[in-house]
Amino acid sequence: MKAVIIGTTTLIAAAGLGLYTWNVSQNAKQTPCGDTAVASSAIGGPFELVSETGETVTDTDVITKPTLVYFGYTFCPDVCPLDSARNAQAAYLLEDEGYDIGTVFISVDPDRDTPQVVGDFTENFHENMIGLTGSAEQVSVASKAYRTYYRKQDGDDEYYLVDHSTQTYLMMPDTGFATFFKRDHTPEQIAEITACFMDTEV
Amino acid sequence: MKLNTLIASAFLILVAPAAWAESNITVMHPTAFETAPTAMAGGGFMHISNDGDTDDTLLSVEADFPRVELHTTEFTDGVAKMMHVEGVPVPAGGMVALEPGGYHVMFMGLQGDPFEVGETIPATLIFEHAGEVDITFEVVERTMEHNH
Ligand SMILES: [Cu+2]
């Protein structure tokens, strides 16, 4: 009896969390790749940002192959490097298996993250990781397209912190959003699920 | 002889209560990860144990940077919120971990002087009871590194 009650509570809590996070849990179902599907049309789309070399680039310039997309900021010494290193590791694992995969880091701190700063940051994790920044407006548009959240904390002009979403998106050049990964996904899990999506893409 | 014992006993009685009131802090593996050349901030990590019988708190960290703070990160619905904390509790007989994804020492204002592997960063930890503890952070490579 007790076990049943605990089970039910956990289920309700889990369902509630899913609903709150994605607001699409009625559509959630297990897919053949073992991830949790969400309404794909809701995530991704056009953006215009600035590359590591200072050029203006669009989503079609950047996502030319299956790509892992993450939003963060370089002033973050802990979570963002950890997640970026994890994504880079997943990419290396995939490349070892012969998959052509891209990784992208989009700054949500355009005031401090210049193209050079973002370029240096991404270079540390994977030689091909693309670092993007832009104007406040450009970053806002990209973040909204991907349904990510970020907010600059008040109270400090120079050493401010930025709250931000930590999910990583798997985007396909033709079909767009495929799935997303949370912080607790390992490089191996990301590589496996991504490979599955790439295998089933025609 | 008898006098010596007496003096020793008196000394013990005087010293013992003071020792009891203090925590016994050990700091293990103070580590910082290497940063990019243009990085503006870096993180410091370590394990702190308290073998005393008084709870202690790490109040602050001093090091040669424009700003050094104790931070933690909270995760709510996939959103990471890094924040300043007033202190990191180190319970009597316990241990606290400053680890990636949780508590960390935030070194701010590195501009132009990144953390490089092999470099050391001297710092002083300030505890509520144990007072000042000098440590040296060692800069290391990120562990999740692929062999390419
Ligand atoms: Cu911090």
**Interface size between A and B, measured as CB pairs under 8 A:** 98
Where residue B25 falls (left for φ over 0; alpha for ψ -120 to 50; beta otherwise) is: beta
Per-residue model confidence (pLDDT) at position A201: 73
Going from N- to C-terminal start, the domains of chain B cover 23-140
Per-residue model confidence (pLDDT) at position A37: 60
Going from N- to C-terminal start, the domains of chain A cover 48-201
Please judge whether B144 and A163 are an interchain contact, meaning their C-beta atoms are less than 8 angstroms apart.
no
Please judge whether B101 and A165 are an interchain contact, meaning their C-beta atoms are less than 8 angstroms apart.
no
Question: What is the least distance, in Å, from the CA of A38 to any CA of chain B?
Answer: 15
Q: How is residue A17 written in tokens?
A: 């969390």
Q: Does domain A48-201 have CATH number 3.40.980.10?
A: no
Which of helix, strand or coil describes residue A139? helix
Please judge whether A85 and B78 are an interchain contact, meaning their C-beta atoms are less than 8 angstroms apart.
no
Q: Would you place residue B144 in the very low, low, confident or very high pLDDT band (cuts 50, 70, 90)? A: low
Please judge whether A121 and B39 are an interchain contact, meaning their C-beta atoms are less than 8 angstroms apart.
yes
How many angstroms does the Cα of residue B111 sit away from the middle of ligand 1? 16
> Which amino acid is residue A52, in one-letter code?
E
> From the CB of residue B59, how many other CB atoms can be counted at a distance below 10 Å?
14
Per-residue model confidence (pLDDT) at position B111: 78
Mutate to test the interface with A, among B34, B69, B142 (most CBs of A within 10 A): B142
Please judge whether B78 and A183 are an interchain contact, meaning their C-beta atoms are less than 8 angstroms apart.
yes
How many angstroms does the Cα of residue B88 sit away from the middle of ligand 1? 14
Given a contact cutoff of 8 angstroms between Cβ atoms, the answer to whether B138 and B95 are in contact is no
What is each CA distance from A197 to A109, A170, A200, B128, in whole angstroms?
31, 9, 5, 54
Per-residue model confidence (pLDDT) at position A38: 61
DSSP state at residue B22: S
d(CA A63, CA A171): 7
ipTM of the complex: 0.80
A residues 13-72 closer than 8 Å to B (CB) = 17, 20-21
Where residue B91 falls (left for φ over 0; alpha for ψ -120 to 50; beta otherwise) is: beta
Nearest CA in chain A to B142: A85
d(CA A8, CA A28): 19
Mutate to test the interface with A, among B75, B76, B79, B83 (most CBs of A within 10 A): B79
How many angstroms does the Cα of residue B43 sit away from the middle of ligand 1? 7
Nearest CA in chain B to A23: B77
CA A71, distance to chain mean position in Å, is 6
Q: What is the pLDDT along chain A (202 residues), one digit of tens a residue?
A: 333 333 333 433 444 334 334 444 444 455 678 766 665 568 999 999 999 999 999 999 999 999 999 999 999 989 999 999 999 999 999 999 999 999 999 999 999 999 999 999 999 999 999 999 999 999 999 999 999 999 999 988 899 999 999 999 999 999 999 999 999 999 999 999 999 999 987 5
What is each CA distance from B58 to A197, B29, B85, in whole angstroms?
47, 16, 10
Nearest CA in chain B to A122: B36
pLDDT in tens, B2-50: 445 444 444 444 444 444 456 699 999 999 999 999 999 999 999 999 9
CA atoms within 13 A of residue A64's CA, in its CB half-sphere:
6
Q: In A63-147, which ranges are E strands?
A: 67-72, 102-107, 130-132
Q: Does domain B23-140 have CATH number 3.40.50.1820?
A: no
Nearest CA in chain B to A187: B144
pLDDT in tens, B103-134: 999 999 997 899 999 999 999 999 999 999 99
DSSP state at residue B8: H
d(CA A71, CA A166): 7
Residue keyed to tokens 């680039």: A57
CA B102, distance to chain mean position in Å, is 13
Q: In chain A, which ranges are E strands?
A: 48-50, 56-58, 67-72, 102-107, 130-132, 150-152, 162-165, 168-172, 176-181
| Residues of chain A with C-beta less than 8 angstroms from the C-beta of B66 | 159
Query: Which among A89, A112, A166 has the least Cβ separation from residue B80?
Result: A166
Determine which helix (DSSP H) or strand (DSSP E) holds B80, and give its type and residue range. strand B79-84
Helices A187-200, A79-96: crossing angle, 10 deg rounding: 50
